[in-house]
Amino acid sequence: MMVLSLARLNVVVALIVGAFVGGHFSGLGMTATLSAFTEGLGNGAGIALNYAILGGFAVALSKSGITERLTGSILGRVRDAGSSESHQYLQLALFGLILALATASQNVVPVHIAFIPILIPPLLQVTGRLKIDRRRLACILTFGLMVGYMFVPIGFGTIFQRDVLFNQMVANGFEGGAAAQVPLAMAIPVAGMVVGLALAVFWSYRKPREYADEPVAINQAEEGAPYRSRNLYFALAAIVLALAVQLMTDTVFLGALAGFLVLVLGGILRWEQNETVFVQGMRMMCQIGFIMITAGGFAGVLRATGDIPLLVNDSIQLLGQNKGMAAFGMLLVGLLITMGIGSSFSTVPIIAAIYVPVCIEFEFSPLATLAIVGTAAALGDAGSPSSDSTLGPTMGLNVDGQHSHIWDTVVPTFLHFNLPLLAFGWLAAMVL
């Protein structure tokens, strides 16, 4: 799957071919492989539903006029700024804004990656004038999307840290820790990602890069209500309600649906527009939905082979009784698994059953065990062709066909986030 993706074959095709190649070499046979793949497709349906409704909410939110007002203000400042020094300040302000929104999309405003195709395409005119390398933006977006759930225990962070990571570890014999300790355990690995982000923004991709002034197809339905200050109040109310419902129900799509209804009832959208806008949002997210559904089938075949525990066990046995090598081996195998599956959330149930007993046997502390399993799951979220943390940035940055998913998003995020996560995750396992 990785080889075909790097060769620029469509990600969905690469996932399908990779799944059937894996099923063949594992001895499953065509019928069993097809059955496991089909069953896995169903596991991705819930994710696709979340993305579809989040897309509708994001498009409806954009109709308040906030996005146009924000990008218009930034573009006006670019036109007024004549000096290169002023451009540098604007670049930093723009980077900070994108980072804040990416992080908030995981915690404060539960729209996940649905905000990207709404906010980023209008900003490409700004980034083009500032000659910003889009690989910098891809790294910023991926960083915000990952750190939001890895470190902040709100929204998607609550789901990952408590419902997925901690509960799965407890189910496999983990004792002596608490869900509230997950951010503390993940602090050192996140620090590694901060280092990687700094390198990407201020060193690797700092040189100006020219892009052709191509027309950008911005997702727009029929015109929304004219911008008025009341629109801002309803938009904020929709955001607050969406967050509150998501926190109360632990269901992302219900929060997004509640926010959408506030925007409709508040007059941001005319009643006859709601179907058009909602369908447009679903259409906007359908590509990533298909990829995530296919990734579910790929993961289903991997699990059906029964070889993932064997891979983990054999890797650990090769390391003998060396505690440091055991930690590094678990992190490295976690990287390989998540790179294939494309989801940190889906990786945890696979590795927790093996890693928790191994950590107990090697006498890792509860904090170190949390850091090992959490980092092993997060590793590969960046740098995976089928991860929403890479698909989302590409969806916004490639609207004019000038940003390669593999070489401009996947490879840069792999180098700047997975490698530091390996190093700092290992450090956390050793010192905690």
pLDDT digits (tens, 9 = 90+) for 130-146: 889 999 999 999 999 99
Q: Is the pLDDT of residue 244 over 90?
A: no
Domain ranges for the chain, please list them.
2-205+226-431
Segment 9-28 mean pLDDT = 87
What does each C-alpha distance from 217 to 149, 226, 314, 347 come to in angstroms?
Answer: 30, 21, 50, 35
What does each C-alpha distance from 181 to 161, 365, 368 come to in angstroms?
Answer: 9, 12, 11
Beta strands in 245-386 (DSSP E): none
pLDDT of residue 223: 44
In this structure, the chain runs to a length of 432
Q: Is the pLDDT of residue 312 over 90?
A: no
| Distance, C-alpha 308 to centroid of its chain | 23
Give me the residue label for tokens 């930690």.
327
Name the DSSP letter for residue 219: -
Instruction: State the Rg of the chain over Cα.
Output: 22
Count other C-beta atoms under 10 Å from residue 70's C-beta.
15
pLDDT of residue 221: 37
Integer Cα distance of 52 and 72 in angstroms: 28
Q: Of 420, 312, 423, 320, which is closest to residue 431 (Cα–Cα)?
A: 423
Integer Cα distance of 203 and 50 in angstroms: 36
> How would residue 43 be classed by pLDDT, with cut points 50, 70 and 90?
low
- Alpha helical stretches, state H, 45-200: 45-62, 66-80, 84-107, 116-129, 134-151, 156-158, 167-171, 182-199
pLDDT of residue 225: 47
What's the one-letter identity of residue 380? G
Terminal C-alpha separation, the chain = 36
| Tokens read off for 53 | 């409704």
Segment 238-260 mean pLDDT = 82
pLDDT of residue 425: 96
Q: Is the pLDDT of residue 224 over 60?
A: no
Q: Is the pLDDT of residue 418 over 90?
A: yes
pLDDT of residue 198: 97
Question: For the chain, what is the mean pLDDT?
Answer: 82
Q: Of 354, 416, 340, which is closest to residue 138 (Cα–Cα)?
A: 416
What's the one-letter identity of residue 249? T
pLDDT digits (tens, 9 = 90+) for 401-411: 899 999 999 99
CA count, 13 A, side-chain hemisphere, 207: 3
Percent of the chain whose pLDDT exceeds 90: 29
Residue 384 has φ and ψ, to the nearest 5°, of: -95, 130
| Three-state DSSP state, 224 | coil
> Which of residues 413 and 238 earns the better pLDDT score?
413
Q: Is the pLDDT of residue 29 over 80?
A: yes
Q: Is the pLDDT of residue 150 over 90?
A: yes
| Distance, C-alpha 270 to centroid of its chain | 32
Surface-to-core class of residue 210, CB atoms within 10 Å of its CB (0-12 exposed, 13-18 middle, 19+ buried): exposed
